[in-house]
Chains A and B, each alone.
Chain A
Amino acid sequence: MSNRPELQAPPEIFYDDAEARKYTSSSRIAEIQTKLSERALELLALPDDGVPRLLLDIGCGSGLSGETITENGHQWIGLDISHSMLNVALEKEVEGDLLLGDMGQGLGLRPGVIDGAISISAVQWLCNADKSSHEPRLRLKAFFGSLYRCFARGARAVLQVYPENLAQHELILSYAMRAGFAGGVVVDYPHSTKRRKEYLVLTCGPPSLSTAVPCGKGEDGESCSDDDSSGDEENQTVSISDRHRPRKKQKINKKGKGREWVLKKKEQMRRKGNVVPPDTKYTARKRKARF
């Protein structure tokens, strides 16, 4: 069975009292959520003039992401479908206002009032039909349409999503574009399976310089890595091992993996976003015989 919560139960049932408590007391989840919200706020790129804005937190849950917004000095309104999660948020006395609502039913806000929105791991829930009356396409349309309407000119939304597959990804993005948003997807650590995070960065208004999508983290080495691999292929030589020699002797002749191999592996790890020690003259150097 998959461990995606989206496949287990509808959000208002999956996040019951026990799950909400677990979600909030786990320091690991809290740390991830805080990091995601910090990154989302960074991508939101609000002008740095010290004026607090009114932000929307869609799928605010127990207010972990809201706390980050408060720390950055902004006012926020949070929306979530799970009553238990909101109760935990109440206990924590978060600063923002909480609403119990379903984003798939539209947001129900006045037009042109919100300065920006973030959403952490929530929008992919819209791709599921949990009731017979649910139609994912209509719900996505209602969500993005109402989000677009309530935005002030030039406002941005940064939605961190975990799409299950490429089709879901395309579905979410296409409905965002249909609602009139400009923007695209920012992927952090695209080479890592675990740390890879997708953010939809959507801007209200026509495409311009300000709507350009920022770069993801750990993405910079992408183009040159392609060159490397093609170069490697040319340099490769076909090795012919002597089949008739005994196994033991074959092994003795084999050299170690070599500096090049180590550097290649280190580069791979770096692209995945892992912490890798820097390359120095000591990298992959042979130890002395008497160590």
Chain B
Amino acid sequence: MSTIIAPAEKTEVVPEPITPWKPSQKTKSVSIIVFLASLFLSAAIVLLTGLAGIDGFGLALFCVVIVVTTVRNLRSNQKSRKDAFVGVFVASAAMLAFFPWMSIFASVIVKGVRGLQPNFLVENMQFTTPDDELNMGGAAHAVIGSMLMVSIAAAITLPLGILSGVYLTEIRGRLTFLVRFVVQSMSGVPSIVAGLFVYTTFVDYTSKFSGMAGALALAVLMLPTVARTAEEVLKLVPDDLRSASYALGARQWRTSLMVVLPTVRSGLMTAAILGVARVIGETAPLLLTSLSNNSFIFNPLGGPIGSLPTYIFGLLQIGTENSINRAWTGSLVLLILVLVLFTTARYVGGKDKR
């Protein structure tokens, strides 16, 4: 054989790019149609048989999809049949995990949206009793209190948490084991114990409940989450980058500050988000530290202060129809607040420049 050039058509025309490894448009459309048909069939089963409710529908859909998958794959080989079956189970498991999540959101939105009127976001409960109509009073004081305490807690925790991450991964000093041990055991502290700790120290010392006390309790809870996540993301930085920086004559702290930390900027943002998510709904420690309040408080040392969790908790205890509706709206606002905070954090933190 003298040549390795394969016999082929000589043409200057560039063919259309194709992706033979992906399912074709036709297969996709057929799948969608089959799935919609399965939905209708399971709805029919729910209507005609003893199965009822959303779980009955889910069960019916699962069975229908299994049967349909079997029929569709009758002619294919064993491997792709297995593939299709495992695919159905994985998708069902995903739906099952998705369901509680969706149900929480749906009920909070459905039950909370009635009370979500302009007054809810600007007024406080100073001159309104919980039983008043929903167009009176609001949770603005609670939103402000929550934001205030979480911000202070974050301001304390983020530097500390990131620094302990840096200590554990970059400096690796003698106390590494001890620091890691303390951080891990702190993450096991029940939130009420954190509240009690601040109650017996800060609240006792200043002889009053305050936003600062609440923030300190939240900080105790937030620190281990931030520190551990920061450690995990810092561990992901390849040692090559550190070596490259050292080889340019950089000192360790310059390397950490200008090479390692910027590399995991979005990871550290995740650490902050996880920390905030850990504490923003905490109720128990706040009952022991910041208590609650019906009017606007802006001074973290100015006595008891309102917050969304304690607002919800208080209203639920009263238990009348309007107060419970207010509590649902409070939950909705809490969810929205978390969403806004996280979206902003992602936007500001951005993606890693890679």
Partners in one complex: no
